[in-house]
Structure formats: C-alpha cells, structure tokens
Structure 1
Amino acid sequence: MTGSELTRAGAPASYGVTELAQLPRLGGLLAKGATGSVGKRPGGGVRLPEVAYQVADVDTAGEAAHLAAYLRLLGEPASEVLPAGFLHVLAFPLATAVMVRGDFPLPLLGMVHLRNTARVLRSVRLGETLAVRAWAQDARAHRRGVQVDLVAEVLVGGELAYRGVSTYLAKGFTASGGAAPADETSREEWTAPLPTARWRLGGGTGRAYAAVSGDQNPIHTSSLGAKAFGFPRTIAHGMYTAARALAEVGPARRGEKYEWAIEFFKPVLLPSTVDVAIRYADEVSTSSTNGGASTGERGFVYDGWRSGKNTRHFRGTVTPL
C-alpha cells in the first residue's frame, strides 16, 4: 500500500504524513512523555502539530496470544474478530507518539480522558494486515482548560475499518477562539437505574489491563503513583471500563458494524464494586442519557456507578450501523 493511498482517509488535508516502519513501543513513549511534560506550561494559544503518523503494514498474524488474553480479561467470547477495544489498544501507541512530540503543546502527564467514540465499519480478523494512522486535531476550550481529539484509524486493503476519537483535557491551558461551551452534563440530575451486572474489581485490575494494553501509567498500577496525582489509591483505566461494557453488550447484539461511545465521570478507585446497567436505547429518555441528543431507537445505552451509591463513573452507547 502506498503513502498516497493511505493519505486519502480522514486526516485534515493540510497535515503532512510521517511514515514509521512499525508501531512504536508504548513503554518508551510514556517515559518520553513524562520527561517532556515538565517543560510544557500554560501560556498563549494552543497550536497542534499538523502531522499524521502512519504504519502501512501491521501484521496481526502474531497477535493470537495477545488477543486471547485481552478477550479473557474483558469477558469477550473467544474469537478471531478484533473488537473495537482491541483495535484501540493496537492504535494507541501511534496516537501516543503524536502526543509526546516536542511540538505537541500539551503535557502527557495529567491529561484527563473525557470521552471516546469509535466506529467499526468492517470486521477486522486475526491474520489480516492493517494500515494504522493517528493524529491530533480540534484543540478547543473547556471550562477547565483545553480539550483535544486524538484520532486513530485502521484500514484493511485500503478500506477504512475502524476510526476512534479519544478526547483529552489539559487543565489550565487556554485555547484560542471562543469561550468554552456550557457544561450541561455536570448539572444533570441522575438516579442510578436497576443494574444488569455487577463488577467486583480487585486491586490488581489496573495491572491486569496494563499487561494487555501496554498502558503502564502509574495511576493505574502503583499506589504511590496514584497518590502523586491526588488519588487515594489506584484507579481503573477508563478504556478497561469502556471495553468491559462493550463486552457486556456482546458481539451478537452489536453486530459486525457498530458505533461505541463512552463519557467518563468519576474515576473507579481500586478495589471497587461497580454496578452496570445495559438497556435498549428506546427504553431510555433522551434527557437522561445524552444531555438532550437523541440516541434513536436502535442500540443500547449503558451506565456504570459505584455499587450502593449514586457516584456515576461512566455512561455510553453501542449502536449497530
């Protein structure tokens, strides 16, 4: 596959393309991001690097053991189909490589994961060769700083199979342009529904997900690391809770093509018990699920909260396409 064929997908037309020979290792990137975060301070506007990273030939034939471990941990049935959460894991190092560039204006350390949206437009199977690309776009105001989208795409034979958008917040920074929109969600009244599942998450949950995702951020794996960032103990990865909710919906109900979205609220402290409710979208009023945005009648809505409390951890949707 040529570079020109890869550039026809979704990166902004003004962006240049940097081709890498292989997907980078996440551990080294996180160390580089920690070091590079020290010199990145609020001041002036935020200008993102206009570059997309891409790897043209990612062979998944050797991913069988990795995929099996991921599926077991998240509660997905054994399969040769790579679910959206696993595609996120594959592409995450490339997105991280963008965030640790010297000209990326926001610090990797302390970035808050706000939400994730992914679309699976074609099943991706073990053994297929993938093209993976990632870039940052749309730095914009948030009431607590600047939010930015990290976009990752996976193509098979030149066909877009997966597109994921992860939105992060850098506190204290200022975006050029208008003021932050009103945060209606923070004022939304919410009452926990009847749970359909209960997750008992042990203290090692963060380390277990780190082993299959490569994300060894110390807030998830180390009590001391978590306390250094203001948490009383380790917290679960947001993408662990998102992927486990996706598994609760299940491959039969979400279908081969689907959209998967999640918004994060309070972090899940470990150990913890989380109640989860999976419901048909047409059973849930639009005002209580999407802040007024219609979910439509198809698909599923899910919520997660601290068991026995009204502490909401996340909400999301899974919609067959």
Structure 2
Amino acid sequence: MAIHWQTLTRNPDLPSAYLKAAFNRKVTGERLPELGLRCSLSADPRHLAAYRERCGFGEGGMLPATYPHVLAFALQMHLLTDKHFPFPLLGLVHLRNRIQVLRPLGGVAGVRVSVHAQNLQAHEKGVTFDLVTQVDDPLGPLWQEHSTMLCRQARIEGLSQPVQAPAQPAEPALVAVHRWYAAADTGRRYARVSGDYNPIHLSALSARLFGFPTAIAHGMWSLAQTVAALRERLPRSNYQLAVEFHKPVRLPSELILSASAAGLDGQLALHGRDDLLHMSGTWGPVAQ
C-alpha cells in the first residue's frame, strides 16, 4: 500500500479529535486509508519532567523509550479520527505493542514524527490493524512503534487470519524485580501527561458505559512503568521491546513485575492479584 503523506505545520489539537470520536460510532468502510501524517515536533521539558515523574522514570539524560508515543499521540488521534478512517476510535482495543529504539534517545528537538496504519487482518473478535509511528532526526530513523489495535465492531469478508506463530521455547526463570500500587485515580493522572482521556480509564462511572465494572489502567502506563523499572536491564539502543496486553488492570490494583536477568535478550511478565497475567513481553536486538 502506497502511503500518501500529509505534512502538518503544527501538532493537531486533541479536543477536536475527541469531539469527532464522540460522534463517530460506526464502521464506515473495509479498507485502511492510504494516508500518513507527518509533523516536526520537539519534546517540551516541563511536559517531559511531568511524564518522568508520573511513570517512575525520575530524572535522567536519556529520553524514556515510551515517551515518543506520547509525543506522537495527537498525530495518532488525528489519523484515527480522519473522515477516511473506517473504524470508530471509541471501542478500539490495544492488543500488542512493539517499540524499537534504533539509536540512543537524547534530547529530542525538531524531529519528524510520522504516523500511518497498515496490515489489516481478520481476527476471531473482529479485525486488527497496526498503527505505525516513527521518529526521524537528520541522521535518519531514531525510534519506531507498532501498536496492534482490535476493532470488535468490524467483520470484513475475504480477510485471512494471520498464521499462528510456532510454539515458543520454555520460558527462562523470571524473578520479581518491582512491585507497585495502581491507585484508583491512576488513569486520570496518566491522562494529564499522555493526553489519552479514553473514558474507560478515568472513573468507574465512565468505564461502566463501555462495559467495564471499574476503570482500567492505560496499557501504555503499564508499559512505561515497566520500562522505568527495567531501565538498568535494557540496552541503551538498537533493541526492541515487544509486549502483549492480556487482562486489563482494574483500578485500584497491586502489580508485580517479573523479568529475566539483564542482557541483550530477555523476557518480562506483569501480574496482578491472584497471579492474573496483565502483560507479557520480550526484548532483544533489532534485526539488521
């Protein structure tokens, strides 16, 4: 699929995207748009400091590996609420996420952020697609993310389901490395630094409107907390971190992160009460 790129002169505003999302509740097509959005963006020091504090990174010289997702969030929202995008934003489920840190993430200023959608696939519960986000500096690609999203309302004839991956080898021993408590207001607090005000994260009342008995934590908050806890184990660059989101984290909740030893390759798991698995994943070198 050839992408037709549209370059924006400034970061789009989020309120207009949320307004469009509120009125777009139907599936309107069966093909992803051949549209990509680009914009030159810079990390705001005050916003970055608030993100670091909220997600457990503390102070540091390197950019958190999950921060470019937040930097690109308004662009992602603008694409997902475009009139040519066939699936409603409200109700999309984040299934998987893969982040590639291609080179060390220093202070990000004047980078080009691009977003497009690809890889439409059938799924037993609907259809999935990948939201691809990339950050480039003058030297080339710096960071990339693939977010696999599920639209449960869509059923498209003729799409084939992806081939199942072969069985994985036995997992190495994972050791508990961090434990934290996700308070009832975690979703609201993360929304203030991420811009993601999806009602399922904000309160029990708003979450019930979408079928959840209580508010659930953002998947990207869980991932950010995990990256912060593992920052001494992860390489500085040329690595990828791939996770799958399983059961949602109901707020409030206590979480336990387990991981393998530091090294070029590793595995992780995030569990909650009664050993409920919320997220699992791996890290390793980016294939050359």
Identity %: 35
Q: Quote the Cα distance in structure 2 between the aligned partners of 1:238 and 1:232.
A: 17
Matching of residue 40 in structure 1 with residue 40 in structure 2: no
Shift of 1:243: 1.1
Partner of 1:285: none
Structure 1 residue 223 corresponds to structure 2 residue 189: no
- Segment drifting more, 88-97 vs 25-34: 25-34
Q: How many Å apart are 1:193 and its aligned residue? A: 5.6
Sort the Cα spacing of 1:66 and 1:320 in 2 relative to 1 into closer, same or farther, 3 A.
farther
Indicate conservation of the 8 Å contact 2:235/2:264, yes or no: no
Q: Is the 1:139–1:175 Cα contact (8 Å) retained in structure 2?
A: no
Give 1:248's aligned residue: 229
Match of 2:278 in 1: 313
Selected match of 1:298 from 249, 252, 264? 264
Q: 1:136 to 1:213 in 2, by over 3 A?
A: same
Aligned length: 282
Q: Deviations over 1:287-316 (max 9, x none)?
A: xxxxxxxxxx83221101113x13110101
Name the SS for the 2:72 alignment partner: helix
CA distance in 2, matches of 1:213, 1:178: 34
Give 1:103's aligned residue: 84
Distance 1:278 1:27, change over 3 A: farther
Q: Find 1:53's aligned residue among 37, 40, 45.
A: 37
Runs of 4+ in structure 1 over 6 Å off? 182-185
Matched ranges for 1:5-44 at <5 A: 12=1, 14-37=2-25, 39-40=26-27
Amino acid of the structure 1 residue aligned with 2:281: G
Contact preservation (8 Å) 2:240, 2:284: yes
| Letter matched to residue 40 of structure 1 | V
- Where 2:103 maps in the other structure, the secondary structure is coil
Give the match's secondary structure for 1:148. Answer: strand
The TM-score normalised by the length of structure 1 is: 0.81
The structure-2 alpha-carbon separation of the partners of 1:270 and 1:25, relative to structure 1 and needing over 3 Å to count, comes to same
Give the 5 Å matches for 1:1-321.
Answer: 12=1, 14-37=2-25, 39-40=26-27, 46-55=30-39, 57-60=40-43, 63-126=44-107, 128-181=109-162, 194-251=175-232, 253-280=234-261, 298-307=264-273, 309-321=274-286
Any idea what SS the aligned residue of 1:123 has? coil
Q: What does the per-residue CA deviation read over 1:165-202, in whole Å, with 9 as the maximum and x for residues that have no partner? A: 111000141235344247789xxx99x96522211111
CA displacement at 1:319 relative to structure 2: 2.5
Counterpart-to-counterpart distance in 2, 1:121 and 1:181: 27
Q: If each structure's helix is expressed as a fraction of its own residues, which one has the higher value?
A: 1
The residue identity in structure 2 corresponding to 1:231 is: F
CA deviation after TM superposition for structure 1 residue 159, in Å: 0.9
Indicate the SS of the match to 1:84: coil
Question: Could you tell me whether the CA contact under 8 Å between 2:216 and 2:251 is conserved in 1?
Answer: yes
Structure 2: stretches of 5+ with no match in the other structure:
none
Q: CA RMSD in A?
A: 2.4
SS at match of 2:220: helix
Partner of 1:288: none
Cα distance between partner residues in 2 of 1:213 and 1:138: 26
Paired with 1:79 and 1:22, the residues of 2 have a C-alpha distance of 28
User: Residues 317 and 184 (structure 1 numbering): CA distance in 2 closer, same or farther, change over 3 Å?
Assistant: closer
- Could you tell me which residue of structure 2 aligns to residue 7 of structure 1? none
Contact 2:27-2:153 at 8 Å conserved across structures: no
CA contact (8 A) 1:254 1:318 kept: no
Structure 1: 5+ residue stretches without partners = 1-11, 282-296
Structure 1 residues 91 and 176: CA distance shift in structure 2, 3 A: farther
